[in-house]
Amino acid sequence: MLHDARNATPSGRDEKAVNAVTPTGTVKLSVIDLSDEETSTSSSDSEDQTFLGQAAATTKSPAEAEQVPAANPPPPQAPPTKVLFLDGIRGLAAMLVVVQHSREFVPELHLGSVAVDAFFILSSFLLTWLFTKKSMKLLAQGAGARAWAFALVDYFQKRFFRVYPLFAITAFVLSRLSFENQHRYFIVPKPNEVSLYKMLVFEFAQRYHVFWTLPLEISYYFIIPVFVLTTLKMRRFWWVAAVPLFMWTVYQGWTLIRNSHESLNHHLHTFVLGSLGAVVFVKLDLLIKKTGFKFRLWHLVLLRAAEGLIIALMLSVIFRGLLFDWVMANPAPPPSGFPFVGVYMTAIIVIEVMQPSCVSTMFEWSVFRYWGKISFSIYLLHTFVVMNPSISHQSNYFNRLFARLFLTIAIATVSYWLIEYPSQLTAQHISRFLAAREKSSSGGLVRFTCMEKINIKQQSAAAEMK
């Protein structure tokens, strides 16, 4: 499934790109700073993917910077930042789905299933990260039940407007097509079988073609808050649950045969891997900042060696060879369904978010990121292009290739600006409304606190006068 990263910018948002390479040659992660008032309107799940405690980026010129006194500089504030390479991963995954359904490039490799796993992991990683950040803030403030209720309502309404409007419109269009076109574009097996209501409520038999991933993602949305709060309540003993949970995901990945159009039970471990990756990142990020740990050269060499091995193993599983032909046989049983690559993807994402390299820089390519922005529309609507007879019946391979590529991007772009972007703006307006209501409900307490502070200051001043 596609989601937020999910980079169209609404008015009022300040974008600043952080340099990719420092003068010392260290690769940094490119990010976009977002304002506190507006969430991202990108096509990913990352409304405000934020590093905890990241230093603010400056927009001053070198001459202006020299004029700032060095003594007692103000503590840097942490701006929300958006990780750009995750957009690129999602964009490439969306195109892999198009490649899989076109059946033009080794369809037995299941590249589409690898892309679906990438969607699941990105979605769970980003949403777990965001909700962890929000929950830590509320816990630090000692927020009451009302604040938590507003936070949950805001979380779910954003998810609803991110996914449901475009799906509902696509389902409506499908219900109005002739059976011939229903069968061609969404593989409907029988005439008079499509029911708009049953599709909208995700009845299992009506999850046609690419629709099957949506109810799985939506179901996991309800698990994320429970997962995050349980992890935070365990405090420093979070690893006691994380270690056996990770072992369970690996066992499921090695032994469970997964295919498309199955229930959440068959793909739950993939979502959990993304959530575990987010928790590990947050915990390590906090620990590094608390201890002041600095990566030395030998740390980075070992990290890059491990990452390179992980990437090689993932490619070996996907393409069914490489290391398994050159070095040793695959110890896992041959996959008869989806290949198990979730653990490799999650590890690579965590490493690149913490210590970015050329891998993340590659996925920050603007083309990949644009595909990522419109990825949900690509995912839902590409079948109308790929399966169109006027394109699929052309004899020249390159005619089919470029027609599918450009028409898919064109249709997805129109869909994004006409449906997805307005839906995300609506979610933003609702978020502001909820924030205003929450503040107004606590206005009496705020005024009381301010009056108490004024009284204390007046009493202190009177005591000094005496």
Q: What is the pLDDT of residues 122-164, one digit of tens each?
A: 999 999 999 999 999 999 998 889 999 999 999 999 999 999 9
Tell me the longest C-alpha to C-alpha distance in the chain: 98
pLDDT of residue 329: 85
3-state secondary structure of 397: helix
pLDDT of residue 109: 85
Q: Which helix (H) or strand (E) holds 224?
A: helix 213-233
Distance separating alpha carbons of residues 270 and 451, to the nearest angstrom:
52
Dihedral sign from CA coordinates of 38, 44, 50, 56: negative
Which of 271, 361, 402 shows the shortest CA–CA distance to 20?
361
Structure tokens at 398: 């390159």
CA 443 to chain centre: 35
85, 181 contact by CB (below 8 A): no
237, 90 contact by CB (below 8 A): no
- As a whole number of Å, the CA-based R_g of the chain is 24
Length of the chain: 466
Tell me the helix, strand and coil percentages in the chain, rounded to 5: 70, 0, 30
pTM above 0.85, yes or no: no
* Local structure of residue 73 (DSSP, 8 states): P
Residue type present at position 75: P
Structure tokens at 192: 């008079």
* Local structure of residue 107 (DSSP, 8 states): G
Structure tokens at 254: 């090695």
* 53-61 contacts, C-beta under 8 A, 24 or more apart: 53/78, 53/285, 53/286, 53/289, 54/78, 54/79, 54/81, 57/16, 57/18, 57/33, 59/16
Distance separating alpha carbons of residues 434 and 141, to the nearest angstrom:
18
User: What is the mean pLDDT of each successive set of 10 residues along the chain, which is 466 residues long?
Assistant: 43 41 46 39 42 39 45 47 86 96 87 96 97 94 91 96 97 96 95 95 95 96 96 93 96 91 95 97 94 94 97 94 89 79 96 95 96 97 96 92 96 98 97 90 54 63 60
Distance separating alpha carbons of residues 400 and 7, to the nearest angstrom:
29
pLDDT of residue 460: 65
Q: Which helix (H) or strand (E) holds 33?
A: strand 31-33
- How many degrees, rounded to 5, is the angle at CA 135 between CA 39 and CA 116? 65
